[in-house]
Structure 1
Amino acid sequence: MLSWNVHGLRRGEKRRRIKSLIKEKEVDMVLLQETKLAAILLDMVRSLWYRDQVEFMEVDASSLAGGILCIWDPSVFSLSACCSNKSFILLSSSLSRNFECVIINIYAPNDVSCRATFWDSLCNLKSEFPKPWCLGGDFNKIKNVEEHKACSRRDRGMQDFNNFISKLEVSDLPMLGRQFTWSNSQDEARWSRLDRFMFNPEWLFINAWLLHPLFLPLVKKTWLEAEAHGWVGFVLWKKLKILKEVIRKWNVEVYGNLTLNIKKAEEELHVLDLAVETRILDDFEI
């Protein structure tokens, strides 16, 4: 999955560059912000997408400002429901035919009060779309002072943003290679991290299990071989207990200590983030 604030899609050269990156990374879904297009038709989508199979959903720009576009491969992402406004597109679906989830393309408002209202509106949608969420895009706000090069104190917007993250119970995906995603071209000192991906925990763990080729065969084998006798409810409880223990052991064998591994990876990424701001990384660090 790829998210990108493209700052306009009118130029063919830019669309070719985006298409080349999508193809190189073998992206199944792309989330674009600031298309600056009043309408997007299939021909425009084809100029960005490299696969034969394609579906898309877009929100038109207003007076050539804003605009959001989602493009995906329907063989990977099967859409079941959706909703949108000028600041987001929400897609509820089945991913890889195994994982029921919600993906949201975000282009948050610049105004602090409008952004707070926007956070509340998304939180209110959680009960209507309860599947695990993945939010990606331009959130137009930093979480803490470390995400802005020239920022020294917390403000109301940061508090609102962190409350929003807490309410949704999502985790911020660490960046790889850089510390910031945006800068004001008129002031090189104003670097910020405004773009990000955030997930409910199910995305980081359960989805990894379902996409592993050995997981479903293991579940089937364990369920069929689990011995339990008695009334139906007891048999179900016993089989689930056996299955839970088998999955727990399998998870450790395949993925190791996830909490420890993630913490170690975050520490290594943090060191690289700091280093890349002052020097070119060595080949072994990339």
Structure 2
Amino acid sequence: MRRDSDVSFIAFQETQLSDMGEVDSAKFWGDNDFDMDWVAANGRSGGLLSMWDPKIFKKVETIKDQHYLLFRGIVCGSNKEINLVNVYAPQRVPEKSLLWDKILGLLNSYPGQWVIMGDFNVVRSPKERKNSSFKVSCARAFNAFINEAGLLEYEMMGRKYTFLVENGSKMSKIDRFLVCFSFFSDWPDACLRALPRTHSDHNPIVLTTAKKNFGARPFRVFNSWLDKEGYVETVEKAATDFIGMEEPPDVVLSKKFKFVRDSIKNWREVMIHRENEEEETLREELENLEVTAEVRDLEEDEVWVKAECKKNLGILERNKTRDLKQRSRIRWAIDGDENTSFFHGVVNRRKASNTIHGLSINGSWVQKPTVIKGRFYHSSGTFFLNLSQVDIVCFVQGYARYLKGRGLISNCRSLKRKLKRLFFNAGRIGLPAQMA
């Protein structure tokens, strides 16, 4: 299982072993190329074991507790500081609260990114339990800890629950990964997946951070560019200067869009460089004036310059925030709110929820982009081929109303006519006379 999922760090909970020397640990890893450390069990209760690939993670320090095992170290190759915590939470509510306080103290004491994993013996909401009682106070304390620590959680694929009793009637999601904002920002498209149970009443869960290449991403135009100098002129000039070859119209149009897009990219690079230089100059001038103000009163023209510096810096900052709001797609965002870290978080959480991590095909989990795209292409093609005349008409009308409602088109009737002909002229269904 470790080789199949390409795992670099494994965290075991409830080992029930007081001495790992009695066990051949290499069987868990698959070979002898690993490092490990553990917390002994208290009789037949508890016990933690962590194993890792020393070529990926270099341990610097270990901090042990009966209910957690913290490794502070560096990710080889990037030299980023990271803290990996293996958790097995106690059953009693007061002891859980004490554990949350201990982990919160660790988070506030050590720098670097944080990944906290394991069996937390608690759920966050009623929907994470089935056929068992939900303890409101316990969940409230756990959620308060997560919020205070600034931790985030990936959506789990493959299973809804991670633990079930032997008869299978009671289920709950008590195993999870919690990560800090910095880690989530670096890996917004990471995949958390629950694997099938084999020898345990818990489903193993795997967090994969490998990036998938699904090809070129859509080009995004920000509304703030419309107000910037040179944008409109750049687009108009590119559209005028493009010279198409004698090719099919759709190919010519595609190449023209690419030519315009490349022109906008060049304009954007120059614009960003110019704005960065302007911001640096404004901040330097503002700093000099503030230093001068500590020695003497500013002259009238210096006061005016200081006010202009602050004004122009505010404009630059509001433009950046405006772009972030557009990326986060929050229509209800308050104008003037400059909490950029909030919008960065929204963007990354949206990206994490929209990312296609893989597909289960004939019982096998597939993550190869070419296979995933091929399956989607085949499925969507089959869907449209099986549509009836009524289905196509409903789809076209609904899509046209949707675009008109968002202000993206003005002539709904013209679009519906073109889309209907596009579908019905495919050679398999005749266009009804009343729709022509």
TM-score, normalization: structure 1?
Answer: 0.67
- Cα distance in 2 for partners of 1:159, 1:38 equals 33
Query: SS where residue 73 of structure 2 aligns?
Result: strand
Tell me which amino acid in the other structure corresponds to 2:123.
I
Kindly state the Cα deviation for residue 54 of structure 1 after the two structures are TM-superposed.
1.4
Deviation, 1:79, is 0.8
CA distance in 2, matches of 1:263, 1:67: 34
Q: Is structure 2 residue 126 aligned with structure 1 residue 36?
A: no
**Cα deviation code 1:104-141 (max 9, x no counterpart):** 00100011111111111111112222322100100000
Which residue type is aligned with residue 34 of structure 1? E
Question: Would the alpha carbon gap of residues 263 and 103 (structure 1) be closer, same or farther in structure 2, given more than 3 Å must change?
Answer: same
| Structure 1 residue aligned with 2:234 | none
Q: Which amino acid letter does the alignment assign opposite residue 197 of structure 1?
A: F
Q: Does the 8 Å contact 2:48/2:88 carry over to 1?
A: yes
- Residue 65 of structure 1 deviates from its aligned partner by 1.8
Asked if residue 141 in structure 1 is aligned to residue 117 in structure 2, the reply is no
Aligned counterparts, 1:56-67, within 5 A: 56-67=36-47
**Percent same amino acid at aligned positions?**
21
The structure whose residues are more often strand, as a share, is 1
The one-letter code matched in structure 1 to 2:353 is K
Q: 1 CA distance for matches of 2:174 and 2:349?
A: 26
Q: Do 2:152 and 2:180's aligned partners in 1 also have CA atoms closer than 8 Å?
A: yes
- Matching residue of 2:393: none
Query: Which residue does 2:101 correspond to in 1?
Result: 120
Q: Residue 264 of structure 1 is aligned with which of 345, 354, 378?
A: 354
Check the 8 A contact 1:78/1:97 in 2, yes or no. no
1:82 equivalent in alignment to 2:62: yes
Q: Which residue of 1 aligns with 2:307?
A: none
Structure scoring higher RCO (CA < 8 A, sep ≥ 6) equals: 1
CA offsets 1:217-276 (integer angstroms, 9 cap, x no match): xxxxxxxxx998x99x96xxxxxxxxxx9xx9xxx9xxxx6443323349x99xx9xxxx
* One-letter amino acid of the structure 1 residue matched with residue 27 of structure 2: S
CA contact (8 A) 2:162 2:171 kept: yes
Distance 2:55 2:137 in 1: 43
Query: 3-state DSSP class of the match of 2:145?
Result: helix
- Which residue pairs with 2:311 in the alignment? none
Please report how far the alpha carbon of residue 153 of structure 1 lies from its aligned counterpart in structure 2 after TM superposition: 5.5
- 1:201 maps to a residue whose letter is F
CA contact (8 A) 1:35 1:68 kept: yes
The alignment of Structure 1 onto Structure 2 pairs a total of residues equal to 225
Q: Which residue of structure 1 aligns with residue 175 of structure 2?
A: 195
Cα deviation 1:150-174 (Å, max 9, x = unaligned): 3575511001100111111111121
Structure 1 match to 2:4: 24
Alignment CA distance shift 1:58-1:154 (3 Å)? closer
Change (3 A) 1:149 1:265: farther
CA change 1:97–1:41 in 2 (3 A) is farther
Unaligned ranges ≥5, structure 1: 1-20, 213-225, 235-244, 273-279
Secondary structure at the aligned position of 2:24 is classed as helix
Give the Cα–Cα distance (whole angstroms) in 1 for the partners of residues 186 and 26 of structure 2: 33
Instruction: Quote how far apart the aligned CAs of 1:92 are.
Output: 0.8
Alignment counterpart, residue 161 of structure 2, candidates 169, 180, 189: 180
2:184 partner amino acid: L
Q: Higher helix fraction: Structure 1 or Structure 2?
A: 2
The aligned runs of 1:1-286 (5 Å cut-off) are 21-41=1-21, 44-98=24-78, 99-150=80-131, 155-186=136-167, 188-206=168-186, 258-265=348-355
SS of residue paired to 1:78: strand
Change (3 A) 1:51 1:96: farther
Which amino acid counterpart does residue 148 of structure 2 have in structure 1? K
| Separation in 1, partners of 2:71, 2:40 | 17
Flag the 1:127–1:259 CA change in 2: closer, same or farther, 3 A: closer
Distance 1:49 1:282 in 2: 21
CA–CA separation in structure 1 for the residues paired with 2:188 and 2:31? 24
Corresponding residue number in structure 1 for 2:316: none
Letter in 2 for 1:111: R
Give the aligned residue type for 1:261. Answer: K
Are 2:154 and 2:352, in contact at CA under 8 Å, matched by a contact in 1?
Answer: no
Q: How far, CA to CA, are the matches of 1:72 and 1:282 in structure 2?
A: 24
SS at match of 1:44: coil
Contact 2:152 2:184 in 1 (8 A): no
Q: Structure 1 residues 75 and 281 mapped into 2: Cα distance closer, same or farther (>3 Å)?
A: closer
Structure 1: distance between partners of 2:171 and 2:115: 25
Answer whether contact 1:142 1:193 (CA < 8 A) is retained: yes
Between the aligned partners of 1:155 and 1:65, the Cα distance in structure 2 is 26
CA–CA distance in structure 2, aligned partners of residues 148 and 211 of structure 1:
30
